[in-house]
Every structure is written in C-alpha cells, then in structure tokens.
Chains A and B, each alone.
Chain A
Amino acid sequence: MAAPHLSELNVGDVVATETIEFSRADLVRYAGASGDFNPIHWNERFAREVGLDGVIAHGMLTMAAAVTVVSTWLGDPGRIIDYGTRFTKPVPVDDAASGSPESPTQNLLVTATVGVLDAEASTARIDLAATAGEAKVLGRAQVVVRLDA
C-alpha cells in the first residue's frame, strides 16, 4: 500500500468515493468509544423534547467516518496532518423498523477530491463532500496530507 505521490495528482482528481452506512447501533458504539453520551444521539424521546425530529448522529462520528476514505487511499493514516470541517446539517439515524438494530437506516456518501497541491510544502489538500440523502452534512471539509514528491 504505497502512498500516492504528489506528482501523480492533479487538482480536481476524485481520489476516493464511498458510501458509509449508519445504524442506531453505530451511534451507541460511537458513544461508548468516544465517551460522548449526549442522549440526542440514542434516545428518541429526549431528542424530540429538545426540538429535533429524532435521533441524530454525533457530528464527530460523521466527521470521523468521512475521513476514513482518505486514510485508506493514503495507505498511511499518519500522513494526515490537518483535518477540519463545519457541521452544516444533522444526520438523522432512525431506529430500524424491524429486524436487527444493526440494520442501516442512513447512508453517508463521501467523495474526496484534490483541492490544492503544494509542491514546496509537500502537501495536498483533499476536499471532502459528504451527503446524507439530499443534505450536504459537512461544509468546507478539508484534509491536508503529507506526500512524497
């Protein structure tokens, strides 16, 4: 899994695209792993009481899942030196109506595109587009990666 070289890339290249599925069980798993137990991410009644339409994913879960397409493409997650995003829309994750609670009820479609190449700094900026249904859920999601010339 050799990392891509800077010289192989052009601005506008789509380097990865992936659909990531979420179930309510995924939200519970993220709560456990991260320590973020805010009930809006697992309890329907509580989410509605605070004015949401239902349970939503942790913004940080969406952010984390989206960047995995870049780590896989790079072949070395440690080459990511900078990653930032805005959270523009909530990602609703319903409880599966029947069957296993692990059944996905939401899809996150992630596309990674080369935004900027900086030969002097040996870095590339990869821009992520992330949508759930029709909604663009991350804004200005940018990943700066260190690459060899």
Chain B
Amino acid sequence: MPVNTDYEGRRFELRESYEVSAESIRAFARATKATHPAHFDAEVARVLGYADVIAPTTFPVVLAQRSESAYISDPDAGIDFSRVVHGEEKFSYTRPVVAGDRLRAATTVESIRGAGGHSMITSRTAITEEASGAAVVDVTSTIVVRGDS
C-alpha cells in the first residue's frame, strides 16, 4: 500500500505528559557521549542559571519519536516501517529542557511528497510545557519510505 497522502495536515497528540527526570537526562547523556557536567551535576547547571541538570540537545527526540509513532504505526497511514530511512532531523529551541519539566508533545504531518518512487514525509512535533502550554522545542523530522524496486 502506498503512503496515504490524506494524512497531510493531521495532528497526533501524545496522550500522556512526559516528566523529565535527572536520571533519564544522565542516561541519555552517557549513551550519546555527552560529557558536559551540566547534564550530570545539578550544582554545575545552577551556576549556569538552570534550575537543575539540562538535557543534551537531541534529548527531545525521545518524546518526538513517541509522538510520531502514533502516526507512523497507524495502519491507514500506509507506512511500511521496514522501508523507512531517516532523512533529516532538526531541533529549534525556545528554552533548554531541564530536569523536572513536565512536557507534552503533538506531531503535525507537514508534508508527504513523492521523489523518484520514494515518499518523503516531514513532520513537526511541538513540545510544550504541560502547565502553561508555552513552547519549549520544535522537532522536525523527515523520513524517506523507499518505494518498490
């Protein structure tokens, strides 16, 4: 089944909020070889002006991919995950992610277009503060679904 272009413009919201813990920040930093002490030591982060340890730059991908998966795994979206290749990724910050944040994520399917037998899908996940709705970071992702060859 080809990728369903009717999904362009649709929005998928992560049902639960995500509580950012210092431990999840530390685990992500270790796993990505991010050695800056502001990811590990709350005192260092406070000296830099943050309330607690701050997340590495790409940490919000954890929420973004959860939110995107509601779309990608929707059977009617027509995305064969075994044919998916990651094309592009971008993080645009309003403010850093800090331990203790309670965040929400909502993914909008921005565009679905064909390119040489493949489909390119760009989605944007807005990550916001649960309490205020204020923007924290936008994550834009482009995946390529390889066509039959």
Chain A interface bracket (under 10, 10 to 19, 20 to 34, 35 or more) = 20 to 34
Q: Which residues of B contact A97 (CB under 8 A)?
A: none
Q: Are B65 and A34 in contact (CB under 8 A)?
A: yes
A50 within 8 A of B: yes
Q: Which residues of A contact B38 (CB under 8 A)?
A: 76-78
Residue picked from A29, A30, A64, most chain B C-beta under 10 Å: A64
Q: Which residues of B contact A64 (CB under 8 A)?
A: 32-34, 56-58
Q: Which residues of B contact A50 (CB under 8 A)?
A: 82
Q: Are A80 and B31 in contact (CB under 8 A)?
A: no
Q: Closest CB-CB distance, B147 to chain A, in whole Å? A: 13
B135 within 8 A of A: no
Q: Are A68 and B35 in contact (CB under 8 A)?
A: yes
A32 within 8 A of B: yes
A81 within 8 A of B: yes
Q: Which of A1-39 contact B (CB under 8 A)?
A: 20, 26, 29-30, 32-36
Q: Which residues of A contact B50 (CB under 8 A)?
A: 78
Q: Which of B1-37 contact A (CB under 8 A)?
A: 24, 27-28, 30-36
Q: Closest CB-CB distance, B64 to chain A, in whole Å? A: 10
Question: Given the interface contacts A30-B32, A34-B62, does A83 sit within 8 Å of B91 by beta carbon?
Answer: yes
| CA gap between A82 and B60 in the complex, in Å | 13
Residue picked from A26, A32, A60, most chain B C-beta under 10 Å: A60
Q: Which residues of A contact B46 (CB under 8 A)?
A: none
Q: Closest CB-CB distance, A51 to chain B, in whole Å? A: 9
A67 within 8 A of B: yes
Q: Closest CB-CB distance, B69 to chain A, in whole Å? A: 9
Q: Closest CB-CB distance, B5 to chain A, in whole Å? A: 23
Q: Which residues of A contact B28 (CB under 8 A)?
A: 33-34
A71 within 8 A of B: yes
Q: Which residues of B contact A61 (CB under 8 A)?
A: 31-32
Q: B: which residues have CB within 8 A of A?
A: 24, 27-28, 30-36, 38-39, 48-50, 54, 56-58, 61-62, 65-66, 82, 85-93, 96, 140
Q: A: which residues have CB within 8 A of B?
A: 20, 26, 29-30, 32-36, 50, 59-61, 63-65, 67-68, 71-72, 76-78, 80-87, 143
What are some 7 contacts across the A-B interface (CB < 8 A)? A32-B27, A32-B31, A33-B24, A33-B31, A65-B33, A68-B32, A85-B90
